[in-house]
């Protein structure tokens, strides 16, 4: 290109860039959008999926009787004060978490299948594949109304070396959110970074003008990135393109976020301090992640989230509740009553963290109700009895009122092996998410 023509290009485009095109659209806030589609008072429904690994000691989990709760079983007792806000759903299964000819690897499959209902492709790295997860189905339609289509939180990061489960890539046993069949969404575990992402866009104490400037800066960076992507794409093969597509779809998502809303609204409610980093103790860590999830819902930053208490197959020890053994090791309890008791302790500890989360949601007013009334929280795992790697009788707790769509406070028993995906189908429907394109959630579950 000659100097002259390049200059012309620069002149032409340069003025274009100088115009603050997108600012003109800023008055359209997510609230305004949401209010436009639903009635003025109707609050958006939030969806969260919480995962605990290695199965549950089911005898201490399952209420003895069907119907309205009587006495809560031992593991669920921390939820006593919220007995009207959750149900236990018994008899649900995820049959695609079974081997189905793929041999061992139940932990990897459990995590990968939990929200996808799909059979994980057995591979250590090449061509990982499972299916889009329900949270991402929800995010695809609900996520447009919020700054973040979804959040993926967890106490554990992915494993950093070695192998995980019987020939399955570690990504399966550390990921429940899948943006596509082939794109896992990693979890964020550092409360400071999560907070900054939600509320500060990475720069504390920044003035509004400086922030607007930075948005322009981000946009010009992304313009170049897109152009560059186009030029490199030509030389790529199919698998390479898939990687570049991940890049491009991320660019588009970030671009929308920059353009979508004014920055004033993204401040954290005052009195909420920014976390320093990852807390020393696991208890505090889980608590902080739960708090951030509530905060994200409360500020309408997102309405879809996943929170993984520990990776599937986790060997984490719980010495602070007198369980110094590794969780996974214990879960193969061989019917040893002492191990049963320790497993139940771990289960109960996790439920206490859930109780904290639910209490926070409930104490956050929203309109004339509260956040828990407008949420649907699925808590559970994709293994029933850890000793047997049972995927057919899963521990599933459903909390919240879903804006009136749910009738909690009961133990509901379904036919054995009723697909868990049917529950997800019903929840997506209740949340107003589009599910037509997703055959794996075609079913519906009654009596929730």
Partner 1 sequence: MSRCSSFSASILLTVTLSVTAGASPFEAHIRPLLQKYCFDCHEGDQAEGGITLEAYREADAKTIDRAAWQKVLRQLEGRAMPPADAEQPTPDDLQSMISWLKSEALQPDCSQGERPGRVTIRRLNREEYNNTVCDLLHVSVRPADDFPSDDIGFGFDTIGDVLTLPPVLLERYIDAADAVARAAIASTDIDVASTYTLPGGVLSSNGDLDREFNVDSDGDYALRVSVWGDQAGSEPPLMTIAVDGKQKRKLKVPNERSAPEEHEIRIRLPTGKHTVRITFHNDFYDAKAEKKKDRNLHVGGVTIVGPIGVLPTELPESHIRFFTRPIPVDADIHDQTDIFTKLIRPLASRAFRRRATEDEIEGLSLVFFGARDRGETVERATQMALAAMLVSPSFVFRIEASPQPGTTRSLDDFEIASRLSYFLWSSMPDNDLFRAAVRGELRSPEQVVTQARRMLRDPKAVALARNFGGQWLGLRGLDEIDPDPELFPNFDTDLRSAIRQETEIFFEHVVREDRSILEFLDADYTFVNERLARHYEIAGITGDVFQKVSLDTRRRGGLLGHASILTVTSNPTRTSPVKRGKWILENLFAAPPPEPPANVPELADDKSGQLTGTLRQRMEQHRSDPACATCHKLMDPIGFGLENYDAIGAWRTSDGDTEIDASGELPDGRGFRGPSELRSVLAQRKDEFRRCFIEKMLTYGLGRGLEYYDACAVERIAAVSAAADDRISVVIAEIVTSPAFRQIESGGGKQ
In the region spanning residues 160 to 189, those forming contacts with partner 1, defined by CB under 8 A, are 160-163, 166-167, 169-171, 174-175, 179, 183-188
- Please identify, using beta-carbon distances, which residue of 3 and 40 lies nearer to partner 1: 3
| Total residues interacting with partner 1, rule: CB under 8 A | 104
Whether 341 contacts 325, CB under 8 Å: no
Q: How far is the CB of 350 from partner 1 (least distance, A)?
A: 17
Closest by Cα among 309, 334, 323 to 397: 309
Kindly indicate which of the ranges 294-302, 316-324, 415-423, 440-448 contains the residues binding partner 1, using the contact rule CB under 8 A: 316-324
- Please identify, using beta-carbon distances, which residue of 268 and 421 lies nearer to partner 1: 268
Q: How far is the CB of 421 from partner 1 (least distance, A)?
A: 22
- Please identify, using beta-carbon distances, which residue of 39 and 335 lies nearer to partner 1: 335
Burial class (CB in 10 A: 0-12, 13-18, 19+), 161: exposed
**Residues 6 or more apart whose Cβ sits within 8 Å of residue 115:** 49, 133, 134, 135, 176, 177, 178, 306, 424
Q: How far apart are CA 286 and CA 168, in angstroms?
A: 27
Site for partner 1 in 373-402 (CB under 8 A): 387-389
- Please identify, using beta-carbon distances, which residue of 64 and 237 lies nearer to partner 1: 237
Closest by Cα among 79, 49, 60 to 346: 60
Q: What are phi and psi of 210, to 5 degrees?
A: -65, -35
Site for partner 1 in 77-106 (CB under 8 A): 99, 101-106
Site for partner 1 in 112-151 (CB under 8 A): 124-128
- Please identify, using beta-carbon distances, which residue of 223 and 291 lies nearer to partner 1: 223
- Please identify, using beta-carbon distances, which residue of 87 and 113 lies nearer to partner 1: 113
Q: How far is the CB of 252 from partner 1 (least distance, A)?
A: 9
Q: How far apart are CA 247 and CA 242, in angstroms?
A: 9
Cα→Cα distances 349→24, 54, 63, 145, 368, Å:
50, 14, 18, 35, 32
Question: Does 283 interact with partner 1 (rule: CB under 8 A)?
Answer: no
3-state secondary structure of 401: coil
Site for partner 1 in 7-66 (CB under 8 A): 7, 9-11, 13-15, 17-18
Site for partner 1 in 239-258 (CB under 8 A): 239-240, 243-244, 246-247, 249-251, 253-254
- Please identify, using beta-carbon distances, which residue of 304 and 406 lies nearer to partner 1: 304
Q: How far apart are CA 414 and CA 422, in angstroms?
A: 11
Q: How far apart are CA 316 and CA 324, in angstroms?
A: 9
| Site of tokens 């996808």 | 116
Q: How far is the CB of 221 from partner 1 (least distance, A)?
A: 4
Please tell me what DSSP assigns to residue 178: B
Kindly indicate which of the ranges 82-90, 331-339, 392-400, 432-440 contains the residues binding partner 1, using the contact rule CB under 8 A: 331-339
Q: Contact with partner 1 (CB under 8 A): which of 42, 263, 316, 417? A: 316
3-state secondary structure of 387: coil
- Please identify, using beta-carbon distances, which residue of 330 and 445 lies nearer to partner 1: 330
- Please identify, using beta-carbon distances, which residue of 84 and 186 lies nearer to partner 1: 186
Whether 87 contacts 110, CB under 8 Å: no
Whether 109 contacts 265, CB under 8 Å: no
Residue 239: left if φ>0, alpha if ψ -120 to 50, beta else—which one? alpha
Site for partner 1 in 182-241 (CB under 8 A): 183-188, 190, 193, 197, 202, 204-207, 210, 213-214, 216-218, 220-225, 227-229, 231-232, 235-240
């Amino acid at each position: 290109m000659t100097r002259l023509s390049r200059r012309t290009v620069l002149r032409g485009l340069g003025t274009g860039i100088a115009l603050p095109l997108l600012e003109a659209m800023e008055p359209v806030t997510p609230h305004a959008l949401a209010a436009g589609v639903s009635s003025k008072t109707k609050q958006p429904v939030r969806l969260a999926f919480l995962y605990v690994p290695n199965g549950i000691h089911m005898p201490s989990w399952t209420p003895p009787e069907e119907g309205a709760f009587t006495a809560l079983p031992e593991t669920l007792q921390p939820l006593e004060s919220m007995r009207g806000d959750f149900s236990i759903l018994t008899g649900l299964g995820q049959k695609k978490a079974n081997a189905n000819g793929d041999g061992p690897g139940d932990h990897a499959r459990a995590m990968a299948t939990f929200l996808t209902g799909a059979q994980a492709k057995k591979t250590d790295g090449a061509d990982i594949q499972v299916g889009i997860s329900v949270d991402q189905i929800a995010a695809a339609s609900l996520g447009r109304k919020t700054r973040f289509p979804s959040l993926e939180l967890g106490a554990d990061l992915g494993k950093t070396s070695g192998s995980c489960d019987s020939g399955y890539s570690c990504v399966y046993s550390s990921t429940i959110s899948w943006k596509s069949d082939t794109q896992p969404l990693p979890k964020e575990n550092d409360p400071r970074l999560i907070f900054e992402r939600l509320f500060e866009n990475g720069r504390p104490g920044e003035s509004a003008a400086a922030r607007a400037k930075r948005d322009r800066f981000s946009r010009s960076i992304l313009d170049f990135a897109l152009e560059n992507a186009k030029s490199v794409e030509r030389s790529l093969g199919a698998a390479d393109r898939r990687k570049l597509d991940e890049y491009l779809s991320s660019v588009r998502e970030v671009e929308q976020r920059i353009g979508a809303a004014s920055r004033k609204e993204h401040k954290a409610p005052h009195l909420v301090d920014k976390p320093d980093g990852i807390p020393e103790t696991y208890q505090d860590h889980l608590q902080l992640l739960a708090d951030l999830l509530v905060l994200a819902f409360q500020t309408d930053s997102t309405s879809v989230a996943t929170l993984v208490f520990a990776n599937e197959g986790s060997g984490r020890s719980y010495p602070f509740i007198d369980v110094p053994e590794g969780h996974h090791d214990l879960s193969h309890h061989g019917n040893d009553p002492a191990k049963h008791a320790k497993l139940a302790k771990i289960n109960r500890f996790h439920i206490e963290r859930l109780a904290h989360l639910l209490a926070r949601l409930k104490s956050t007013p929203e309109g004339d109700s509260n956040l828990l009334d407008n949420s649907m929280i699925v808590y559970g795992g994709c293994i029933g009895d850890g000793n047997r790697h049972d995927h057919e009788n899963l521990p599933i707790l459903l909390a919240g009122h879903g804006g009136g769509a749910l009738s909690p406070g009961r133990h509901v028993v379904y036919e054995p092996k009723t697909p868990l995906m049917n529950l997800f189908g019903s929840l997506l429907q209740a949340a107003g998410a589009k599910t037509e394109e997703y055959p794996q959630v075609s079913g519906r579950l009654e009596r929730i």
